[in-house]
Amino acid sequence: MDQQQRYDNLKLGERGAVISIVAYIVLSALKLIIGYASGSEALRADGMNNATDIVASIAVLIGLRLAQKPADKDHQYGHWKSETIASLISSFIMAAVGLQVLFAAVSSVFNGSEKAPDLISVWTGLFCAVVMYFVYRYNKRLALQINSQAVMAAAKDNISDAIVSVGAVVGIVGSQFGLPWLDPVTAIAVGLLICKTAWDIFRDASHHLSDGFDESTIESFKEAILEVEGVEAVKDIKARNYGSSAVVDVVVLVNMELDFAEAHEIATSVENKLKKTSEVYEVHVHYEPVDVSEMLS
């Protein structure tokens, strides 16, 4: 995949972020209004969850747009990591709101509310769950189409929101059967889920920004390199993330009897082999001579 295609994919990924933003604005407003009107702590917590998702989706949108900026004097490798930085920022915002939801829900439990929420909150929660499920299906399909880590993360957030809404409905229905405490307890579960989602996003973003990389993926790169004719062994291989793509540094061993042009051709074949993998953006290949007879002995 060439660089222009990657930029085009980032542009296409904006569509998924915009759809998520619109859905979250409408659904969070609906949940908060109905939640306060019906007296449902769980639905209000779910609405707060969606409110944080607005911020997270805006951060993804900004990150996708910044990542499209070409390399310049200050960023000679480009701006690919912008979407990862945006995800890191959104994780802090989500954590803050998650803690706020937990505090309000725990306070409600100790206050001992005796009133069960109105049934309109049940239908609101079910409607919102169905909407978020379809948004999830759309974003997942888009993420697979353009190989976007950011859009796939948004899709996972979408399906978790659908599950949260179903959980809120369970708590509300339970409160209708003489268990009013079940509604705020469900709100606590929602708050914990918000905090967990924030932690997962923070963990992945910080792992990428600190140049962490999946070991199994590196092993698959190594296996692909060894399939290239003329490569005797892989001496060293490293990789780091640039947005949804990877940059690979590899040292290969080639027969010491080869001339410079032949060795260079092998290095070019290694580069082309890895670039055929959709997640690899750039490959830096260094080759060293090796005595093949000693390797075989």
Strand partners, 79: none
Q: Nearest Cα to 225, choosing from 174, 287, 281, 156?
A: 287
Q: Which residues contact 249 (CB under 8 A, 6 or more apart)?
A: 236, 237, 238, 239, 283, 284, 286
Spatial separation of the C-alpha atoms in residues 176 and 172, rounded to whole Å: 7
pLDDT at 276: 83
**Segment-wise mean pLDDT, segments of 10 residues, the chain, 297 residues:** 66 85 93 87 82 82 82 77 79 80 76 66 90 92 80 80 81 76 77 83 86 88 92 92 84 91 92 83 90 69
